[in-house]
Structure 1
């Protein structure tokens, strides 16, 4: 009985996200004070993911290096190009255009791992893609920013790597270890972890909205439209190109989420440091919107069963496929 209740709660988490976000916008003072919860809650979610994963999941990803390469390449091509196109179409002022393009040149964000988990995508692949895009961000982000804006930026790669290590890698490894040694004991409560993740991400979104309520009020519809278009092009481009290249449904979902969800926190920090406070607005608004759009997308995909055919039986194109384990 409780399993059905938990599943129903998890399936409705986009609704909870909208409701609590509305409350946070109207009463930001009750949420803005709790920014310190974001990192611990993300770590808690990652721990829960690790408990539901296995070492074989990551070994399977390592058997598909071409998919990791493709996902990383799409991360650093689709989003910068999408940002540039959005700026041209909307004729954004220089400061806002710099912020949107800088956002597009950033690596994937850790929130993508949570959304992949809730969307029944390949969580192990998502974590690997986030780690790889973060690892090469010290080269990719400054170079792409220079290409599209003509301005160089400095990226604190060590700070980013430490953040990913603390928030993602360590909790996931701990969860994997718990699952490995106590698999039978935790099998009875495994169903509770998606519900915990859903509740945690809803709270995180509300805290972000409460913290940025002033930015939302003054950003205007133009910035919001730019952010929505940018995020939508990333999600659609990641999914569409993956399906065109005949990747599996699970892989396509994962890459779409990974490409569409940026490290907006890095974008805000770099914009403030190298440009203006106005340039930081797109990143701040994006941090809200991509969580909401990701929540709705995960809610939609979580209701759809995934039946991926054996990749080894597909015709091989461009060496993109290798046989899945399991």
Structure 2
């Protein structure tokens, strides 16, 4: 029976169904918003569950790979934090979004790699070890990078509480990840029978966060979604494209380029939603909510395409 349960919860199937869950959750929230409005205070705790679950998938060995491949890690993190906030700022400006929505798009671009990127990377035939390392490093750097980049791009248009944003990012990202690492280190093999449950909980938590944000923005969505959705789609596609082609132009292998494309293009939208809700407005959280749906759709599609194409050996 346990084997049947584990097969049913196979991580390789999650990206295939997660976009559907997100769309269904959003549709239910739009149709019945009153049932979710009272749950807005649960966004941050739910995100803590997501980050804790990611920490449970990591170990000290994952961080050792940073020393072995500093060039690729540096390139991936640089593309993540230099390109994505800048692209978001440019697209939001070109689309004429309001100051609040622009803050949300830039904040989204300033967040680390998404928690689902490792699973998508595996299905796409990427380098899972590199993916985990990039996610871990960008997540830890988010304590400083996310609030500082947000202040750099939107500080003149909206007062950004840098210190409060820094403290919130540290609390939401750092503590749950460290706790997850600690549990993984202490309990080790005793967690093997339940480890597969944590990604499932993370996915469900993100779906619930998306639903809450949709419910909070239901009245404004008719006016905001059209232009904002285009910005969100282009933001993600630019990240995927540049994350792939820049490494290729620099002579990196196909497998490494796929990995960087996914890490750069898939943001931690749950973190963006939580921070926008705390420090800006419900409307500023809408870019993250829309991105949560779209980047899993595009990532799943890309993984399906790439999984059908063979790759060469990665560069030494």
User: Could you say which TM-score interval applies, normalised by the shorter chain?
Assistant: 0.7 to 0.9
Tell me the distance in 2 between the aligned counterparts of 1:86 and 1:46.
28
Tell me the distance in 1 between the aligned counterparts of 2:270 and 2:35.
26
The one-character-per-residue Cα deviations of 1:102-145 (angstroms, maximum 9, x if unpaired) are 733765336x4322244245234223214325414555444444
Corresponding residue for residue 231 of structure 1: 236
Whether 1:123 aligns to 2:128 is no
Do the aligned residues in 2 keep the contact of 1:58 with 1:125 (CA within 8 Å)? no
Do the aligned residues in 2 keep the contact of 1:135 with 1:157 (CA within 8 Å)? no
Q: Give secondary structure in 2 for the equivalent of 1:53.
A: coil
Tell me the distance in 1 between the aligned counterparts of 2:197 and 2:165.
30
Corresponding residue for residue 77 of structure 1: 83
The offset of 1:164, in angstroms, is 2.5
The one-character-per-residue Cα deviations of 1:125-178 (angstroms, maximum 9, x if unpaired) are 2232143254145554444448xxxx4655433322322222222122212122
Do the aligned residues in 1 keep the contact of 2:37 with 2:216 (CA within 8 Å)? yes
Corresponding residue for residue 18 of structure 2: 13
The offset of 1:72, in angstroms, is 4.1
The one-character-per-residue Cα deviations of 1:36-57 (angstroms, maximum 9, x if unpaired) are 2221121112222222211111
Whether 1:56 aligns to 2:61 is yes
Tell me the distance in 2 between the aligned counterparts of 1:176 and 1:43.
13
TM-score, normalization by structure 2: 0.77
Q: Give secondary structure in 1 for the equivalent of 2:39.
A: helix
Tell me the distance in 2 between the aligned counterparts of 1:270 and 1:48.
25
Whether 1:160 aligns to 2:161 is no
> Using a 3 Å threshold, how does the CA distance of structure 1 residues 250 and 87 change in structure 2: closer, same or farther?
same
Query: Which residue, 204, 211, 231 being the options, matches 1:199?
Result: 204
> Using a 3 Å threshold, how does the CA distance of structure 1 residues 33 and 107 change in structure 2: closer, same or farther?
same
Query: Which residue, 178, 183, 190 being the options, matches 2:188?
Result: 183
The offset of 1:186, in angstroms, is 0.9
Tell me the distance in 1 between the aligned counterparts of 2:235 and 2:101.
12
> Using a 3 Å threshold, how does the CA distance of structure 1 residues 205 and 78 change in structure 2: closer, same or farther?
closer
The one-character-per-residue Cα deviations of 1:7-45 (angstroms, maximum 9, x if unpaired) are 276231211111111011111111122112221121112
Q: What 5-or-longer segments of structure 1 have no aligned partner?
A: 273-279, 313-326
Aligned residues: 295
Corresponding residue for residue 110 of structure 2: 108
The offset of 1:242, in angstroms, is 3.6
Tell me the distance in 2 between the aligned counterparts of 1:260 and 1:243.
26
Tell me the distance in 1 between the aligned counterparts of 2:292 and 2:186.
33
Tell me the distance in 2 between the aligned counterparts of 1:173 and 1:65.
22
The one-character-per-residue Cα deviations of 1:54-99 (angstroms, maximum 9, x if unpaired) are 11112223544444443443333354245425644x5x3xx63784
Larger mean CA deviation between 14-23 and 257-266 belongs to: 257-266
Do the aligned residues in 1 keep the contact of 2:46 with 2:209 (CA within 8 Å)? yes
The offset of 1:210, in angstroms, is 1.1
Q: What 5-or-longer segments of structure 2 have no aligned partner?
A: 123-127
The offset of 1:185, in angstroms, is 0.9
Corresponding residue for residue 254 of structure 1: 263
Corresponding residue for residue 44 of structure 1: 49
